[in-house]
Amino acid sequence: MAEGKRLKELAELVGGFLKGDEATLITGVASLEEAKAGDITFISHRRYKRFLATTGASAIVVSPEVAESVEGKNLIVVENPYLAFAKIMSHLKPVTHPPAGISPEAHIDPSATIGSDVSIQAGVFISKGAKVGNRVVLYSGVYIGDNAEIGDDTVIYSNVSIREESKIGRRVIIHCNSVIGSDGFGYISEGGKHHKIPQVGTVVVEDDVEIGACVTIDRATIGSTVIGKGTKIDNLVQIAHNVRIGENSIVVAQAGVAGSAKIGNRVTLAGQVGVAGHLEITDDCVIGAKSLVSSSVKNKGAYTGYPLLEHKRWLKAQTLVQKLPEIKDKLRELEERLNRLEKK
C-alpha cells in the first residue's frame, strides 16, 4: 500500500467535519489546478469555486459556506481552510533536518558550550564563549560569534552569520545568508569626513521568530536591537540599530526600518515599506506596500501611501488622482467663464 494518510485521520488532525469517503488515501498536496488523484487541496474563497469542477484532487479542504454548494467531492470542512491545509502539509510533508551529530569538519572553540542532540554540519564555525542549545541544527557555513547564544530547537540554514554577543531564542528559524548583529550604520561628520560611531550593543531575537533569506539585523549602538516573540520577517529586509519590533508582527520583503524605530505588537509592514528613524507604530497596524512612515502612527488601523493616510482615505485620494486631467480641464473652463463675466 502506498504511503499516505486516510482522509479520516486528516480530518481529525485539523478538527474538521468530513464529508465523503473517510477511507480515501491521501499521498500528496497540490493546488486546485495541479492536483491529481491521491492529492488533497484547499479552497479559501468562493471566487475559486470555478476550479472545483475540473480539479483532479481526491479531497478538498473548504469553508462551511463553500461546502454548502459542493456535491460529489470528498471534503474536509473547517472555518479556516488555509490554516488547516498548512497543518495537513506539515503532517504529510514534514520538514526534515540532518540527524544529530557534529561534523569533524566543523570548528568549535573549546570554550563554547554545546547542548545535546545537536546537528552541526561541515564548515560551521563556533567562536569562543558561544552557547548552542539542545537540538539546534546548524547547516554548513554558519558562523556563531564570540559569546553569542542560540536557544533550544533553533534551525539556522547555510551561510548565516550570528555576530558576537547576539542572542537567539528558542525555536527560531533563520534562512540562508542572513546576518544578525552586523554594525549599525552610525557616523559623525566633521571636517568633511565621516567618523564611525562604535556599535557596542547587541541583537536579541526572541522565541518562535522566523527570519528569511538575506535579512540584516544591525546590532544596537548601545543596548539591544530586539525582535519580539513570534514575529516573522520575510527575505531581503533591513532592520537598523536599536529598532524594537514587538510580538507576532509581520515584516514583508524589501521593507526597511531605520534606527531606533519602535514597532508594536501584531503590526504588518507590507512589501517595500520604509519606516523612518526614531518613530513609533502602535499595536495592530497594517502599513500597505510601498508606503513611507515619516511620522509616528498612534492609532491602530490600516494605512497606505506617502504621505501616509488611513487606507480608506488613500483609496479615495487615488480615485481623485485618476480624475485629475478632467478636473484640470473643468477648472480651466470655469476660469475662462469667470474671466468673461468679469469683463462684462
Q: Is 66 in a helix, a strand, or coil? A: helix
Q: What residues contact residue 90 under an 8 Å CB cut-off, 6+ apart?
A: none
Nine-digit cell string for 107: 570548528
pLDDT of residue 46: 78
Q: What is the mean pLDDT of residues 69-94?
A: 94
* Topology (CATH level 3) of domain 101-313: UDP N-Acetylglucosamine Acyltransferase; domain 1 (2.160.10)
297 φ, ψ (degrees, to nearest 5): -105, 110
pLDDT of residue 341: 85
> What is the C-alpha separation between 298 and 300, in angstroms, rounded?
7
pLDDT of residue 3: 79
Q: Which residues are catalytic?
A: 241
pLDDT tens, residue by residue, 98-149: 999 999 999 999 999 999 999 999 999 999 999 999 999 999 999 999 999 9
Nearest to 26 by CA among 47, 10, 44, 45: 10
- Domain segments of the chain: what residues? 5-92, 101-313, 314-343
Per mean pLDDT, which range of 62-71, 162-171, 220-229, 300-309 is the poorest?
Answer: 62-71
Instruction: Indicate if the pLDDT at residue 326 is higher than 60.
Output: yes
pLDDT band at 79 (very low <50, low <70, confident <90, very high): very high
pLDDT of residue 139: 98
Q: What is the mean pLDDT of residues 18-35?
A: 95
Q: CA Rg, the chain, in Å?
A: 27
**Which CATH superfamily, name and number, covers 5-92?**
MurE/MurF, N-terminal domain (3.40.1390.10)
The fraction of the chain above a pLDDT of 70, given in percent, is: 99
330 φ, ψ (degrees, to nearest 5): -65, -40
Determine contact, residues 270/276, Cβ cutoff 8 Å.
no
Instruction: Indicate if the pLDDT at residue 324 is higher than 90.
Output: no
Q: What is the mean pLDDT of residues 214-232?
A: 98
Alpha helices in the chain (DSSP H): 7-14, 64-67, 81-92, 311-322, 324-343
Per mean pLDDT, which range of 13-17, 70-74, 135-139, 292-296 is the poorest?
Answer: 70-74
pLDDT band at 340 (very low <50, low <70, confident <90, very high): confident
In the predicted model, what is the mean pLDDT of the chain?
Answer: 95
Nine-digit cell string for 55: 480539479
Residue type at position 305: G
For 102-120, b where at least 16 C-beta lie within 10 A, e where not — what string?
Answer: bbeebebeeebebeeebbb
Instruction: Indicate if the pLDDT at residue 150 is higher than 50.
Output: yes
User: Do 5-92 and 101-313 agree at the fold level?
Assistant: no
Cα 74 off chain centre by: 33
pLDDT band at 336 (very low <50, low <70, confident <90, very high): confident
pLDDT of residue 23: 96
pLDDT of residue 1: 36
pLDDT of residue 271: 97
Residue the block writes with cell 524605530: 261
